[in-house]
Structure 1
Amino acid sequence: MFAELAFFSFVELTDPSQHGSYNRWHLFDHRPENLALPGVAWGERWAVTDESRAQPGADPEFAGVDYVAMYWFRPPVEQSVREWDALGEASFQWGRGPIIPGVRRPMLAFFLPVKGYSSASALVSPEVLPYRPNRGVQVTATRFDDPHALDVHAAHEYEDRMLIPRLLEVDGVAGVWTFSYSHPQRHSSLPFDESPVQAPGSVRVRLVYLDGDPTETAARVREIEADAPAVGERMLSATAAAIDPVRYPGA
């Protein structure tokens, strides 16, 4: 596996006037600084589409999420995360973030990569899939009260053997990665009263990488996902589009 740890950030901008400054900071400052770290294998961010906000069943706590960001960390992950945290503190001292008015972060947590899958049309391995350009993702986050219950095991089995093989057949789907919750982020430069500590494995994130039109392809993905057994509590189900660095939203 090319990376042994992943990080997810679900971000809501409670002040709509901050979209421009937030995007400029993330695209041209924060993300390039992080990608330059030797322990960061890759990082990407997507903007939740307006159409997907009408998708039913999500936790109200996550209903206003505007952006989904993630980073992949190379081993040794302890050192990689320390260097990443040190950059976060340094950027605060430089006056370059991450404190931006109107930014709410209901999820800031590390996840263990579970398994990657590539469609035949993508031509690349699952390890290469994150580096490959995409038009967006369909992101699903599910919370389990008992992460090692029998019905949760059955849900993971169904996902691996039935659901994801069907998703890979959808025209416009490049591949899928799944992730299991490890622990929340705690960093000196950010307030952490909104990202609670949960048991390992208590949250499952599934990213479906989209080659096709995000709205149309994600609609077909959701139709297939609707057939899956209803196990756990849906935290987030959203279509998020790739962010064009030339024509990014809110600029």
Structure 2
Amino acid sequence: MLGTGATAAKYVFISMSGKHPEGRDAEYIAWHSLDHRPEQYRLPEIRHSLRLVSTAACRAARAASVGEYDLVDHVMTYMFTDAGGIPGFNILGQALGEGGRMPIRLPSIRYMTADLSGKVAAPRAVAGADVIPWRPALGVYIIIEQGQTSPEALADLPGVAGVCWYHGAIAPEPYEGDARGLQVTYCYLDSDPVEAAAALGEALRARWETEGVEGLLAAPFYAIVPFEWSRHLPTA
């Protein structure tokens, strides 16, 4: 089975934003999900995407939330085959803006790009590590650390179906951001993210004490539920 192929999605573009200053988060999520995000699949380099939201309960369950990362309420991730897809991604974004297709924005916190470093699936998940990002998930526990060591042991924790981790890179123009030295980990969850956060937080605090990495953000996020745009919001 493994000989038939492996994931080609080995590069991520991550956009982190704050909540809308006027409380228009649900309106933004609906527009992005129905209008903006589908258009990105015109680009052959994009293989997957994922929008996540931090509720008040998610925020209270964070194990780390340092500096600018404390402002993050929304995370949008695009999975590319490689960095060569970024120029087209930028051109498409400009075209959508010029065509009046970007009527609402969230406060941008930072952009980040990163290269796939490792992946592992929990044995109980059955689906292999290459396809864990496509397996249905209730949410993701996102970890951003200064320093880079394998987090694969997190896949043994309750509610974690699999883990993918990335090493930060310099974002291509026109996006600014140098994430070198950072590690970004996605723990894909098939149990409630807030409930899963307790065991994950405990494991991460032990990791930071013994493995020479520093936690900058360690937080549960809910996945968007299609057509239930108000179900998970930062103000909820």
Q: Which bracket does the TM-score occupy, shorter chain normalised?
A: 0.7 to 0.9
Deviation digits for residues 40-63 of structure 1 (CA, Å, limit 9, x no counterpart): 010111111312323354213221
* Seq. identity, %: 26
Counterparts of residues 54-203 of structure 1 (less than 5 Å) = 54=60, 55=62, 57-75=64-82, 77-78=83-84, 80-97=85-102, 100-101=104-105, 103-143=106-146, 152=147, 156=149, 160=150, 163-165=151-153, 167-184=154-171, 186-187=173-174, 197-198=177-178, 201-203=180-182
SS at structure 1 position matched to 2:170: strand
Question: Counterpart of 1:146?
Answer: none
The CA deviation at 1:37 is: 2.2
Question: Counterpart of 1:224?
Answer: 203
Q: Measure, in 1, the Cα distance between the counterparts of 2:97 and 2:132.
A: 32
Tell me if the contact between 2:58 and 2:193 (Cα under 8 Å) persists in the aligned partners: no
Residue type matched to 2:30 in 1? R
Q: Measure, in 2, the Cα distance between the counterparts of 1:185 and 1:29.
A: 25
Q: Measure, in 1, the Cα distance between the counterparts of 2:208 and 2:54.
A: 25
Task: Note closer, same or farther for the CA distance 1:232–1:220 as it changes in structure 2 (3 Å cut).
Answer: closer
Question: Counterpart of 1:53?
Answer: 59
Q: Measure, in 2, the Cα distance between the counterparts of 1:12 and 1:247.
A: 20
Deviation digits for residues 33-86 of structure 1 (CA, Å, limit 9, x no counterpart): 1134221010111111312323354213221211111111125x41x2222111
Tell me if the contact between 1:174 and 1:209 (Cα under 8 Å) persists in the aligned partners: yes
Tell me if the contact between 1:11 and 1:68 (Cα under 8 Å) persists in the aligned partners: yes
Question: Counterpart of 2:47?
Answer: 41
The CA deviation at 1:129 is: 0.8
SS at structure 1 position matched to 2:115: strand
TM-score (norm 2): 0.85
Tell me if the contact between 1:35 and 1:43 (Cα under 8 Å) persists in the aligned partners: no
Task: Note closer, same or farther for the CA distance 1:57–1:118 as it changes in structure 2 (3 Å cut).
Answer: closer
SS at structure 1 position matched to 2:188: strand
Q: Measure, in 2, the Cα distance between the counterparts of 1:83 and 1:37.
A: 7
TM-score (norm 1): 0.80
Q: State whether structure 2 residue 223 is matched by structure 1 residue 242.
A: yes
The CA deviation at 1:5 is: 1.3
Q: Unaligned regions of 5+ residues in structure 1, if any?
A: 144-151
Q: Unaligned regions of 5+ residues in structure 2, if any?
A: 1-6
